[in-house]
Amino acid sequence: MPEPVFRENVTIITGASSGIGRELAYQLADQGAWLVLAARNLEALESAAEICRQRGGRAIPVKIDVSDQGQCQRLIQRTVDEFGRVDTLVNNAGITMWALFENLPNVDLIEKIMRVNYFGSVYCTHYALPYLKQARGRIVAVASLTALSGVPTRTGYAASKHAVKGFFDSLRIELAGSGVSVTISYPDFVATGMRQRAYGADGLPLGESPLEESKVMTTETSVRSLVRAMERRKREDKQNLRGKIGPWIKMIAPGLIDKIARNAVRLDEG
């Protein structure tokens, strides 16, 4: 039996306290990965790290707000101090919104989302890149289908994910020949709890999901697809039919894609 791809692979996962990040930590721990789990909720990180150790990996929790450049720099340094290298960086930390743009009292929420979702990924990648080049490692960006098409009530979120796609697509070209791969993942609706924490027009978390969570993809299924893409150093991880055929339909019938996006969201709750 071949050795697992991520055995003793030093992997940083941002947004690792819940959802996709936490499940990714578990699945990589099953392979024996050496994990650095980063997020704002230290208690949740410590719990996740302990479970990762029980499943066969090594793991350390690091409390961090990725919107702070200095904290991102310290995250990378903490990883190098602990493990001596960085093999994989997974930029997963993110926040979202569920509100019509016209209902926002100001653009503070848009700026907050951009700082976390986009600049957080840029900061971590900037400081990790020299080590990733030494290791001929992997960069992974967890985007969203909203990186490929606009979605009502998610203007700021979609903008941040479009920025993530543009940045990492460009970086991939720059890194050609370096040995560093860049994978962008495009999950659809996944049962991560993220929508319960989504910000409404008042700038406060909704507290409940506007969707029927039992009908969306499970976190385990989403992460299995992501891990396969990471193992194979794929350019993209599109996890369902909507992600795979949507861009093609958009080229020939963009109005249809707009209609589908509108029907997928209850605008009366914006």
CA distance 52 to 22: 9
Helices and strands in the chain, H and E counts: 9, 7
List, in order, residues 6 or more apart from 99 with CB less than 8 Å away. Answer: 109, 153, 199, 200, 201, 270
Residue of 152, 147, 143 lying closest to 184 (CA atoms): 143
Phi-psi region of 153 (alpha: psi -120 to 50; beta: other; left: phi over 0): left
150 Cα distance to chain centroid: 18
CA distance 198 to 210: 10
The answer to whether 129 touches 144, Cβ cutoff 8 Å, is: no
Kindly name the residue from 123, 157, 186, 199 that is annotated as catalytic: 157
Decide if 186 is catalytic. Answer: no
- Please list the active-site residues: 157
